[in-house]
Amino acid sequence: MTSFQNDLGKARLKAVDEVLRIVKLEKPRIVGLGSGSTISLLLDRMADLGLNDPIFACSSLGTSLKLSSYGFKVLSLESLDWIDLYVDSADEVDRNLDMVKGRGGCLTLEKILASNSSKRIFVVDYGKLVDKLGSKGSIPLDVIPQAASMVCRKLRSMGFKSEIRTVEKGKFGPLVSDIGGILVDLYVDGGVDDPEELDRKLKSIPGVIETGLFLGYVDLLVIGYPDTVVLKRR
């Protein structure tokens, strides 16, 4: 492990512990959770600290299964119409607190849960901060399977590079999102100049279910550094 990787690990742990401190103070009844490696660490820390009061709702099957394995109460999304507090991580965050999320394939349910929560907390390490969204990786799109190739063709005609995400191990074929869509990765050279305009353009393409641009969703951003934690509010 490099020194940078070690620092990121320390930063992520500090940020996660700060989020759990806030959750304990907030005392929410129902907590929505996203997915990814940072959320997985948060679940491990929850188990260590014995945070047993809330009932949880999850955007991904992986998060739900891990919570259940620790003995936490998990509700099906079909049984809910509102969430007290939503906690998630992000792939990239810019200076306006807009985000790229969903590279793991859960973007649509993550956006639904975040949109139906009284408060949204996002947790990242300092390595996720960017000047422009899309400058460090793809912007994921959740796409109707039958339309995936046509969507990619449309994106090329708009001047973008895109590709259908494929499974790297164990199975041949495209990567399927948690709602049964196909993940398409969109790449923007130099990053996105106008995230709102790009989001509108992408959503206007028939076949695109949802985008990984999360604009205006942050109520509180918790940023972990190796020796401290910074809180930012929109």
Residues with a known catalytic role: 110
- For residue 123, which of 231, 5, 223, 190 has the smallest C-alpha distance? 223
- For residue 164, which of 140, 135, 198 has the smallest C-alpha distance? 140
Cβ-Cβ contacts under 8 Å for 228 (sequence gap 6 or more): 14
Q: 187 by DSSP, 3-state: which?
A: strand
Rounded distance between C-alpha atoms, residue 61 and residue 132, angstroms? 31
Token pair for residue 76? 């099906």
- For residue 59, which of 82, 76, 44, 79 has the smallest C-alpha distance? 76
Rounded distance between C-alpha atoms, residue 132 and residue 137, angstroms? 11
Cβ-Cβ contacts under 8 Å for 133 (sequence gap 6 or more): 92, 94, 98, 99, 100, 139, 191, 192, 195, 213
